[in-house]
């Protein structure tokens, strides 16, 4: 028996078939495509396992210098005494780290103490973070320098020539010098340069006519020099002179650090050419922005081995003319000094091999230092970029060997003044067993 559908029955039959097809496609899409409840229900166990694996791994892109929002205060670095950790057996751990773990930590004898060392490192990191989050008071970094100028007639003169005069700059004192980049007190001195300028005052005024220097005073941010210099000059040339006063910090490990400077044009000093009385002048000092080049290096801390690795990669844009006559006589190398934070005493020194005749050297060398957990927040590492003297230039006129000249330095530690250097150090110790590399400006 054959049923014959009416035209409306055929339309209804086709609509039911199309609806069944659409429902089937939707069900398949929900179980196959990600994002639907069917797919999530089937693959829930696999996603849970994947989430646990990702939680245990650290992405390589996340290992960067983070921008810490610390309001930091520069205080004297506290000195920490060594402490002991008592294990469950009653033995003392941590006072006698005379051995060093090998690269295979599972085979070393300090493997049993790994949990104790991890706890010590964690405690030190917490204390370091607490010490760095401090309130920074408002401070005016602009220093001031007071000097006294006095004009006197010179006794020796002829009828054909106008009488000469002598100018006696008296450097009295300096106030509010900026602090040192790393731990230790300032040892300031001032360099006085006499430049010949014309109106208007240009930055490049030619070579200095005279260059004088004061004595060095130790451990003073407000040094009082009270030192007089006598300079001979014609009265007609007095207004063309400009005094450039530069304050330096004498460093026993490297080159002197240029702190701040000021320019004093003598034509701006009132009544200097009309009176012979002493005139007191105050100059505002501006911070110096001296840059000697860039240095790329990386650091990695191994808490189990208690070892810090410094990877010196390369340097670029070095201003070699400050320490050498030409690039052929410029032989750069990097010296790394480990300093005690509170005393500033050198603990260990290491250096790379020198590269001859280049302003963009590539070192690619690794230097290792023993660094215990109780030294993380007190140790400062000083990287010096030096030039080695070779051949006849290494022997002076007196027959003694001339020391290598230092072009600049970079200081890293938890109490250094530079923000980039301080952030680099914090990133290294908060990401153990990872090499953190960055470019730093040599100053």
pLDDT bucket at 92, cuts 50 / 70 / 90: very low
Side-chain-side CA neighbours of 145 within 13 Å: the count stands at: 30
Chain segment 4-43, per-residue pLDDT in tens? 777 887 888 888 888 988 888 887 777 766 667 667 777 7
User: E strands within 250-320?
Assistant: 257-265, 279-284, 286-287, 293-302, 307-316
Whole-model pTM: value is: 0.62
What pLDDT score does 204 carry?
Answer: 53
Q: Where are the domains of the chain?
A: 144-284, 293-442
Q: What is the C-alpha to C-alpha distance for residues 149 and 275, in angstroms, rounded to an integer?
A: 11
pLDDT bucket at 383, cuts 50 / 70 / 90: very high
Chain segment 241-252, per-residue pLDDT in tens? 889 999 999 888
Percent of the chain scoring above 90 in pLDDT: 24
My answer on whether omega of the bond before 200 falls inside 30° of 0, hence cis, is yes
What are the structure tokens assigned to 302, written together?
């191994």
Q: Please, which residues bridge with residue 298 across strands?
A: 311, 437
What pLDDT score does 418 carry?
Answer: 86
Q: Residue 246, SS3?
A: strand
Is the pLDDT at 396 greater than 60? The verdict is no
Q: What is the C-alpha to C-alpha distance for residues 391 and 395, in angstroms, rounded to an integer?
A: 8
Side-chain-side CA neighbours of 422 within 13 Å: the count stands at: 24
User: Span 293-442: which CATH code?
Assistant: 2.60.40.150
Helix 419-430 crosses helix 114-132 at what angle (to 10 degrees)? 150
Task: Centre a 10 Å sphere on the Cβ of residue 315 and count the other Cβ atoms it contains.
Answer: 27
Stronger pLDDT, 390 or 69, i.e. the higher one: 390
Judge if 144-284 and 293-442 fold alike in CATH terms: yes
What pLDDT score does 363 carry?
Answer: 94
Topology annotation, domain 144-284: Immunoglobulin-like (2.60.40)
Stronger pLDDT, 289 or 166, i.e. the higher one: 289
DSSP single-letter state for residue 419: H
Question: Of 286-290, 299-303, 367-371, 428-432, where does mean pLDDT reach its minimum?
Answer: 286-290
Chain segment 111-164, per-residue pLDDT in tens? 344 433 444 445 555 555 545 433 334 444 567 888 888 887 655 545 444 445
Is the pLDDT at 198 greater than 90? The verdict is no
* Nearest C-alpha neighbor of 278 from the set 198, 169, 118: 169
Chain segment 308-341, per-residue pLDDT in tens? 999 999 999 999 888 888 888 899 999 999 998 7
Q: Residue 425, SS3?
A: helix
């Amino acid at each position: 028996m054959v049923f014959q559908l009416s035209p409306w029955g055929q339309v209804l039959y086709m609509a039911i078939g199309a609806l069944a097809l659409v429902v089937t496609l939707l069900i398949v899409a929900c179980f196959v495509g990600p994002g639907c409840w069917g797919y999530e229900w089937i693959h829930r166990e696999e996603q849970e396992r994947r989430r646990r694996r990702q939680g245990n791994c650290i992405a390589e892109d996340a290992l960067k210098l983070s921008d810490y929002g610390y309001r930091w205060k520069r205080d004297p670095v506290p000195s920490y005494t060594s402490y002991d950790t008592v294990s469950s057996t009653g033995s003392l751990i941590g006072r006698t780290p005379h051995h060093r773990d090998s690269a295979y930590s599972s085979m070393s004898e300090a493997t049993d103490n790994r949990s104790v060392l991890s706890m010590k490192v964690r405690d030190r990191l917490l204390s370091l973070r607490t010490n760095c989050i401090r309130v920074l008071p408002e401070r005016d970094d602009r220093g001031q320098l007071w000097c006294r100028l006095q004009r006197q007639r010179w006794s020796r003169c002829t009828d054909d020539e106008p009488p000469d005069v002598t100018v006696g700059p008296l450097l009295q004192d300096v106030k509010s010098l900026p602090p040192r980049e790393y731990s230790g007190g300032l040892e300031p001195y001032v360099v006085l340069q006499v430049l010949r300028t014309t109106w208007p005052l240009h930055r490049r005024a030619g070579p200095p006519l005279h260059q004088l220097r004061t004595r060095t005073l130790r451990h003073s941010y407000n040094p009082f020099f009270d030192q007089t210099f006598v300079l001979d000059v014609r009265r007609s040339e007095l207004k063309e002179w400009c005094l450039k006063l530069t304050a330096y910090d004498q460093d026993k490990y490297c080159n002197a650090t240029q702190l701040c400077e000021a320019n004093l044009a003598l034509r701006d000093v009132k009544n200097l050419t009309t009176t012979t009385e002493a005139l007191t002048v105050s100059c505002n000092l501006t911070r110096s922005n001296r840059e000697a080049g860039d240095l790329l290096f990386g650091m990695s801390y191994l808490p189990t081995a208690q070892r810090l690795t410094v990877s010196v990669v390369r340097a670029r844009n070095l201003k070699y003319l400050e320490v050498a006559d030409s690039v052929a006589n410029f032989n750069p190398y990097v010296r790394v000094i480990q300093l005690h934070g509170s005393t500033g005493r050198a603990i260990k020194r290491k250096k790379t091999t020198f590269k001859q005749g280049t302003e963009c050297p590539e070192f690619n060398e690794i230097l290792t230092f023993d660094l215990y957990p109780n030294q993380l927040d007190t140790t400062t590492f000083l990287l010096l970029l030096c030039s080695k003297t070779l051949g006849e230039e290494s022997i002076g006129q007196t027959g003694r060997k001339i020391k290598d000249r230092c072009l600049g330095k970079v200081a890293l530690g938890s109490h250094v003044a530079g923000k980039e250097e301080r952030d680099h150090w914090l990133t290294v110790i908060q990401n153990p067993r990872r090499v953190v590399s960055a470019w730093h400006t040599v100053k």
